Structure 1
Amino acid sequence: MPYVRIQPDDHEAVGAAAEILEASRRLDDPTAPEVVRERYAGWLRYGWDLHPEEQFLLVPDGGGAPVGVLAVELPHRDNRHLVWAQITVRPDARRRGHGTAMAAEVLRRTREAGRTTIWMGCAADDAAAAAFLAGTGFHYASPDARRRQRLADVDPAEIARLRAGAEAAASDYELVRLTPPVPEELLAEIAVVAESINDAPMGDLTWEREVYDADLVRDIETAREGRGDRLYRVLARHRGTGVLGGHTMMVTDPVRPTWAFQGDTAVARGHRGHRLGLLLKIEMMAWLAEVEPQVQLVETWNQADNTHMIAVNEALGYRLDRVFHMYERQLDPAAQEQPAGELASV
């Protein structure tokens, strides 16, 4: 079966892929944001850091409508042993071996790139997907939890109480609101703080600490701008030394104006114990209410064992929406590729 690379300017391919992804979302993850063609094309063009993953349409032998979308990402700054992959089969074309074919293609591309580790994920309550991954040689390695904050349900008095306590604990810090572009002189400082996210749990996944530098901070910002996002960042700066102690990011989407995404919140190791994570998030909530009052729902993700940040989020009104499991497969570089016929069909 041929794989057709999906280019962001190929309107027909983008539309076909978006239709498959949206049909699958409605069936497999109905509370996730709608797949919008414009947003999907932006992701294909910019990725999260100007190095977008490759995505392909799976077209049956002999032609016809595409039956699946395969996404393959090879990290380039770090974790060069790793491949991230996502397999999506059109709902009305499942149980015909298309997922099996795409799994074999992932293995082929991984070996071709000289990499040894593959990550793929699925919802924790999706027994069919879990069985497929197990049948293709993957093992469960880490849980992720998606939470939602419905702003209409948040108690302002409780947030004010939490803020007062956090401000008392963080009296040595000032908060700085920042929108793109980040001043050149701040890029390296923000990278140091952002790197602290590496301290969050990663379960049993085989990974290396991600490398953050000034270029990555700028590239993420540029990619967000290219995709049409609005990016907000709050910094915590120590009053005595001027050193950044923490940051948090929020993203809003003009295409889905009532929805926002709470990104990384990180506090540098030497600045922990002052409730900075809580204070940064509360400040971001206040700012969002001022500049994006139409937002109704905020989504965030945590590794499900990250009990500290989950407790912060729960205090702010986030509630569990769904748990997802990441699976991993290790490849022996010297081994031959497993024939597709030996893989579990999907």
Structure 2
Amino acid sequence: MRIARLTPPTALGTPESAAFEELVGVLNGISVALWDSDDFVETAEEALASLRAQDYQEKIVLVAIEDDAIVGRVQASFPLDEDAETVSLLVDVAPAVRGRGIGSALLAAGEELAAEGGRRVVSAYTEHPAHTLEAGGPVVRAVAGSAGLPADAGDVRFARRHGYQLGQVERSSELLLPLPREREAGLASTADTAVGYRPVSWFGHAPDELLGAFAALKARMATDIPQDGIAVDREEWTGDRVRAQESELAARGEPLLVTAAQHLASGELAAYTEIAVPADGAKAEQYDTLVAAPHRGNRLGTLVKLHNIRELAVHAPHITRLLTWNADENVPMLAINRAFGFRLHALTGHWQKTLD
């Protein structure tokens, strides 16, 4: 087994892209084995669009090769914001070759990249579909929140064995669409109490007149969300960065549908939520949802989520499942999700390690 750096190809369907396309196939196989579905399967076009988006994150991919076949990878993502101290590692190994040290070798190579890049804090992640969570077994808990990850799960044991601590658990939740009429009516009554605000929506491209305000609001995601047990870099968001994200998601075929709440008295944006909308398939993913701290308590989370779901029915009536992710300790947002009818889909462990 050897580890080599993978260079993103300039085009697909060429000899140069063969290794990249092979890797996409391996990762899709890993995903299907984990989730027992194709929910997170990517086309080569989608994967390449994400890897090419390097203006604000440097992404380095190393692959493990055995008998001339790719059997795993580690992707290191370096935020390029000034004073950033973290790096995120995604480690994946084909199920058929696990238990032979390939994951450990990839993780060590990723940590070496982190050290060479001057990063002190390394993040890694484990995924736990709801059907794998058995009640009553031993669990590992983060410093905040009520959920725990199964202590006997292979990837949990792997993370702990390599010196990682569980900093946060995220709940992945699923909502079936359309909303039942009675539930939607109740949510609408709640949203109507958000006096002094109005919803503003766009699909794929933020209005120029709101671009700066939207960028400022997105910057608050790194400071206003729960993060008791993890180190998080502050992020600088500008209009150019918003446009870069829009371009990346458009290239993936998943433009963002956004609803923001505008404060009528000041004109500033007080809350927003996003859905990445694929052109086909039944599943969409909700990305950021944020209510800026000074505006909390005004039912804005319900307002923007309900309005965006209604917009989703207009722009993409084929979507019947919506996935979202929230920190387990984010009690107010989880309460809003329950009111909508979201149910547990999975738990994600956010693990961190400080390099010597």
**Matching of residue 306 in structure 1 with residue 347 in structure 2:** no
Residue of structure 2 equivalent to 1:324: 348
Residue of structure 2 equivalent to 1:341: none
Tell me the alpha carbon deviations over residues 269-300 of structure 1, each in whole angstroms, 9 at most, x when there is no partner: 22222101101100011111112111011111
Residue of structure 1 equivalent to 2:33: 27
**Matching of residue 11 in structure 1 with residue 43 in structure 2:** no
Q: Confirm or deny: 8 A CA contact 2:74 2:107 kept in the other structure.
A: no
For 1:26, the aligned partner's letter is: V
Structure 1 position 50, deviation (Å)? 6.0
What SS is found at the alignment partner of 2:70? coil
What SS is found at the alignment partner of 2:27? helix
Structure 1 position 227, deviation (Å)? 1.9
Structure 1 position 241, deviation (Å)? 2.5
Structure 1 position 191, deviation (Å)? 1.8
More moved, 28-37 vs 102-111: 28-37
- Give the alignment's TM-score, normalised by structure 2: 0.86
What SS is found at the alignment partner of 1:285? helix
Structure in which a larger fraction of residues adopt strand? 2
User: Could you tell me which of 240, 253, 256 is aligned with 1:215?
Assistant: 240
Tell me the alpha carbon deviations over residues 224-246 of structure 1, each in whole angstroms, 9 at most, x when there is no partner: 12222122111211223322222
Equivalent-residue separation in structure 2 for 1:262 and 1:39 (angstroms): 17
For 1:3, the aligned partner's letter is: A
User: Could you tell me which of 295, 310, 331 is aligned with 1:271?
Assistant: 295
Residue of structure 2 equivalent to 1:2: 3
More moved, 312-321 vs 230-239: 230-239
Q: For structure 2, list consecutive stretches of 5 or more residues without a partner in the other structure.
A: 128-148
For 2:212, the aligned partner's letter is: A
Residues 109-124 of structure 1: pairs in structure 2 closer than 5 A: 109-123=113-127, 124=149
Q: Confirm or deny: 8 A CA contact 1:235 1:280 kept in the other structure.
A: yes
Structure 1 position 21, deviation (Å)? 0.8
What SS is found at the alignment partner of 1:309? helix
Equivalent-residue separation in structure 2 for 1:91 and 1:212 (angstroms): 38
Structure 1 position 323, deviation (Å)? 0.8
Q: Confirm or deny: 8 A CA contact 2:84 2:233 kept in the other structure.
A: no
Residues 191-340 of structure 1: pairs in structure 2 closer than 5 A: 191-197=215-221, 198-254=223-279, 256-332=280-356
Cα gap change, 1:40 to 1:331, in 2 (>3 Å): same
Equivalent-residue separation in structure 1 for 2:195 and 2:48 (angstroms): 44
Residue of structure 1 equivalent to 2:189: 164
What is the alpha-carbon root mean square deviation over aligned residues? 1.9
Tell me the alpha carbon deviations over residues 49-80 of structure 1, each in whole angstroms, 9 at most, x when there is no partner: 664522222113xx521111111111111562
Flag as ranges the 4+ runs of structure 1 deviating above 4 A: none
Q: Which one scores higher on RCO, CA 8 angstroms, separation ≥ 6?
A: 1
What SS is found at the alignment partner of 1:19? helix
Tell me the alpha carbon deviations over residues 78-114 of structure 1, each in whole angstroms, 9 at most, x when there is no partner: 5621110011111111111111111110121111111
Equivalent-residue separation in structure 2 for 1:203 and 1:128 (angstroms): 26
Equivalent-residue separation in structure 2 for 1:304 and 1:78 (angstroms): 29
Task: Figure out how many residues of one structure are paired with residues of the other and give that number.
Answer: 326
Q: Confirm or deny: 8 A CA contact 2:84 2:234 kept in the other structure.
A: no
User: Could you tell me which of 144, 148, 172 is aligned with 2:170?
Assistant: 144
